[in-house]
Structure 1
Amino acid sequence: MSLSYATDSAGAEKTGIPPGKPTSLGKQIMEKGTEMLQSLKPIKQMSQHACTFALYSHDMSRQIETHHFVTRLNEDFLQAAVYDSDDSNARLIGVEYIVSDTIFETLPPEEQKLWHSHAYEIKSGLWVHPRMPDMIVMPELKNLAKTYGKFWCTWQTDRGDELPLGPPSLMMSPQAAEVGVVKPELVKKRDEKYNFSRDDLMKSRIEIPESEWINPTADYWRQHNKCFEVDVESTDMKKLTN
């Protein structure tokens, strides 16, 4: 069973609010109470907000601005909830896992194909930390330049979807050539919002060392001109055994 969904870009001009009734006063009060009484520990571990861009693996002409709210589990592993903005009504559109080059090299080749490198994204001034000067986050940028990410998009808001529809889409990172180049108008809009200059960012990041080795199995499309797309098929259920 294959699933297909409308991709009318006109829907992207809608409010961005999913269909449904406005939140009642009673539920707002309840949620304020739970916020005070519950720990919400995983959310409170989010320690940084990064803004960058991502491209759909199966159609790299579709490019989106993404906002990653990052939790560090240790020196070699980060996880991020990805939103379509940093506004209070932002929609959760996916998740990204970020690993160091050390961990990435231990992954099987078939798994490595699903990941993308971050070196170009960092060095070229596309990955930014809104409202944070580069000089403050420079140590983190140097570390991120040596990492790899796997990003699954679960809500394709750029095509106007008012709900998260269909299977997840694998996302790729921007690159310097061919279809990996981010559209200038996207960068301009982002830089104007946060008062960044990509040219200035690139100059300030010259001191970030060039990666000695970027595993060519990552960014798989660059070497093989192939993409990955998830489909949904019906299958027999596994039988329960006693």
Structure 2
Amino acid sequence: MATTEETTGKTGGGKPMSVEQHMLDKGAQMLQSLKPIKHMNQHVCTFALYSHDMTRQIETHHYVTRLNQDFLQCAVYDSDDSTARLIGVEYIISGGIFESLSPEEQKLWHSHAHEIKSGLWVNPRVPEMVVRPELENLAKTYGKFWCTWQTDRGDKLPMGPPALMMSPQELDLGIVKLDLVKKRDDKYNISTDSLKAARAELAVPEPERINPEADYWKQNGKGFAIEVESTEMKKIAAFP
């Protein structure tokens, strides 16, 4: 288990947790239901790329809750360690819901077909045969992932506005760096290449069958960046 010093080092020099705080947290954990967290039923390890700078690629760990057959929500961490930092959130929707969105909204979403078929998307320590039906369903989905803590650039705290993330793809800037994949594979004693071969017959949409508004950069060569600007606050209307 990581020490408080390790945790402190990750988060900009905050004070180590006191004994009293540990006791309060343990007491709350025993008394409260924590229902949303207990409904996280999958751990997915994959990779993501910043929409505004796709040369920046990160390993991500998604803890997934399925709200219904067409919608999933994920808390995204930078590792699966006890001191992992919460770096964002991803929403995953079925193809049917995606098609109901406006074209402007669709541009913010990415497809999962290549990510899954290429073996980059894995459920660590779960046998492939167990997750295969789920993979076939997820391969037809789309995701919108906002990164709120850019730990890859050394940020000790969540800084600035959120960044939109894209999924790995089969061409150009979407190809995940080999050293990132090897590091992940070595950690979990898996082979992405072997998974790719095993998933060759997976029922996955071909690139031409994926809505072109998703993965917007592939068609248009442009990403999206969020900027913060000041604005006039809405005033509460005076009572007549």
| TM-based fold match above 0.5 | yes
| 1:149 corresponds to | 143
| 1:59 corresponds to | 53
Deviation at residue 15 of structure 1 after TM alignment: 4.1
- Partner deviation per Cα, 1:125-149 (whole Å, 9 max, x = no partner): 0000011111110011111100000
User: Any conservation in 1 of the 2:48–2:57 contact (CA below 8 Å)?
Assistant: yes
Are 1:217 and 2:221 counterparts? no
Deviation at residue 17 of structure 1 after TM alignment: 3.5
CA distance in 1, matches of 2:229, 2:31: 43
CA distance in 1, matches of 2:118, 2:9: 32
Are 1:31 and 2:25 counterparts? yes
* Root mean square deviation of aligned Cα: 1.1
- Partner deviation per Cα, 1:62-94 (whole Å, 9 max, x = no partner): 000000000000000000000000000000000
**SS, match of residue 196 in structure 2:** helix
CA distance in 2, matches of 1:19, 1:222: 40
CA distance in 2, matches of 1:92, 1:140: 25
Match 1:71 to one of 62, 65, 68: 65
CA distance in 1, matches of 2:229, 2:81: 36
| 1:199 corresponds to | 193
Match 1:226 to one of 212, 222, 225: 222
Structure 1 segments unaligned to the other structure (5+ residues): 1-13
Match 1:189 to one of 171, 183, 194: 183
Map 1:129-144 to 2 at 5 A.
129-144=123-138
TM-score scaled by length of structure 1: 0.93
Residue identity matched to 1:240 = I
Residue identity matched to 2:213 = T
CA distance in 1, matches of 2:13, 2:135: 39
**SS, match of residue 41 in structure 2:** strand
Are 1:161 and 2:155 counterparts? yes
Deviation at residue 209 of structure 1 after TM alignment: 1.4
CA distance in 2, matches of 1:199, 1:54: 18
Find runs of 4+ consecutive structure 1 residues off by over 4 angstroms.
Answer: none
Deviation at residue 18 of structure 1 after TM alignment: 3.6
Residue identity matched to 2:232 = D
Match 1:113 to one of 98, 107, 125: 107
| 2:77 corresponds to | 83
CA distance in 2, matches of 1:162, 1:125: 31
Deviation at residue 25 of structure 1 after TM alignment: 0.5
User: Any conservation in 1 of the 2:89–2:147 contact (CA below 8 Å)?
Assistant: yes
**SS, match of residue 105 in structure 1:** helix
CA distance in 1, matches of 2:22, 2:136: 42
TM-score scaled by length of structure 2: 0.94
CA distance in 2, matches of 1:203, 1:15: 40
CA distance in 2, matches of 1:60, 1:180: 7
Residue identity matched to 2:215 = D
Structure 2 segments unaligned to the other structure (5+ residues): 1-7
Q: Aligned pairs, how many? A: 229
- Partner deviation per Cα, 1:117-168 (whole Å, 9 max, x = no partner): 0000000000000111111100111111000000000000000000000000
**SS, match of residue 19 in structure 1:** coil
User: Any conservation in 1 of the 2:48–2:60 contact (CA below 8 Å)?
Assistant: yes
Are 1:179 and 2:173 counterparts? yes
CA distance in 2, matches of 1:162, 1:181: 28
CA distance in 1, matches of 2:204, 2:75: 28
Q: Percent identity?
A: 69
